Chains A and B, each alone.
Chain A
């Protein structure tokens, strides 16, 4: 039965491996801390020395493709805007689909809520 057991489990080599791993992990942590400090220092230094403008420019360049996804929506020319206002004014009408008393009450309620 003993021959079928897991070899080397009690010869001490496992403990040696665990010790090595722990040491490697500690070194990795130190390295991460060191790199983090370096990066942080360089970012802060970059902002202090070059200001936010460079970062803004970099971001604009990187995000430019996303901007192209949005459709172009220009301000309506004054004549068209005036026409649209005129159409709304000309065709203004009461809404008979709403219950009159209910709509007035709900308006009062929302006005009170806004006031509070």
Chain B
């Protein structure tokens, strides 16, 4: 939602860095109202007239909300959270609020601190109903960890801030088979990409298999999404991590105050981590590089774009094939390629080679038990 808000300002005529600065220095209440507006636009639950009247008073209410589900997928939040950005920013807020160990914050940094406490760390705000936290589940990080576990069967790569085991409710109903399917799909997509122009040699791409794995992934994700479950948590997580993403995307007042100027988000986060004594994940650059593309990739899987083997190309071609009709949408091959490269770098798995060859010596089907 945060990066999409920046884009709306760019569409209105702001330069990219100006738009980012406007959002980073916005009043937290305006950001809350924008979230209400975005939730309303998604048309998931009926929003009362009072709420509509309220969000229409916000600073950003005149900016149109583009698309029908205008926030990032939970996968975006998951990979960005693995950079440890939230825990690092928590230390920054604590240091600035508790003393002057990091220096005197500039007015821009103080505005950022206000918004960060509201968006990331649950500071009281008059529109708390959309939030995914309450007295029953009061830790936003624990709520996100619960959502990651349920949707992906994955935990974060680190524990709590003190490196202890994280405390969150680990639901029994979780997609523990997600990673296997996901990595198998990436492998098959790579085969298809590398054979895209192959017209003479052995061609190991398999559109039917791509379709079947994509369909299975869609079923798994859809099981946890029944009746729009986890959407509220997804919006909260995507907003929190979008805020962290934007914070380290430019040399904002906070970055300048912390003397963490750099040329990439990963480097800025690393420098901030060094300042507050909490190292960022060593593969942060890969997480930042794939987050937005993973969001598009998983949304496309969940939307069921590939409804048959003949449409598998939508996941691995970068341009529509010849004869794709008038004004065809751009397939997501570029995004898939980025996810393959960065997921392989982040996990250390070679997705471009099959780890275990298919056993062709097995004579019979596995017996049913």
Contact = CB atoms under 8 A, between A and B. Distances in A.
A80 interface: yes
B299 A76 contact: no
A13 interface: no
Contacts of A74: 308, 310-311
Contact of B325 (A75, A87, A90, A96): A75
A97 B338 CA distance: 14
Nearest to A103: B16
B19 interface: yes
A90 B329 contact: no
B304 interface: yes
A83 interface: yes
Interface stretch (B67-75, B175-183, B348-356): B67-75
A77 B331 CA distance: 13
Contacts of A66: 199
A84 B314 contact: yes
Contacts of B292: 91, 93
A76 B10 CA distance: 31
A69 B203 contact: yes
A68 B103 CA distance: 69
A62 interface: no
B258 interface: no
Contact of A87 (B203, B207, B296): B296
A16 interface: no
Interface stretch (B1-9, B44-52, B226-234): B1-9
Contact of A93 (B6, B330, B332): B6
A76 B314 CA distance: 8
B278 to A, nearest CB: 23
Given A87-B303, A94-B7, A72 B310 contact: yes
Nearest to B5: A93
B329 A73 contact: no
A101 B241 CA distance: 27
- Among A74, A84, A90, chain B packs the most CB atoms within 10 A around the CB of A90
A71 B191 CA distance: 13
A91 B38 CA distance: 13
Contacts of B249: 96
Given A87-B303, A91-B292, A97 B10 contact: no
Nearest to A96: B249
A87 to B, nearest CB: 5
Given A88-B296, A90-B68, A93-B7, A80 B305 contact: yes
A85 interface: yes
Contacts of B68: 86, 90
Contacts of B324: 73, 75-76
Given A76-B324, A83-B303, A86-B68, A69 B4 contact: no
A83 B20 CA distance: 28
A88 B330 contact: yes
B314 A75 contact: no
A80 B67 contact: no
10 contacts: A71-B207, A72-B207, A73-B313, A74-B308, A80-B305, A86-B68, A90-B69, A92-B4, A94-B7, A94-B19
Interface of A: 66, 69-77, 80-81, 83-94, 96-97, 100
Given A76-B324, A90-B69, A100-B16, 8 more contacts: A66-B199, A76-B305, A77-B307, A80-B303, A84-B300, A84-B332, A87-B296, A91-B70
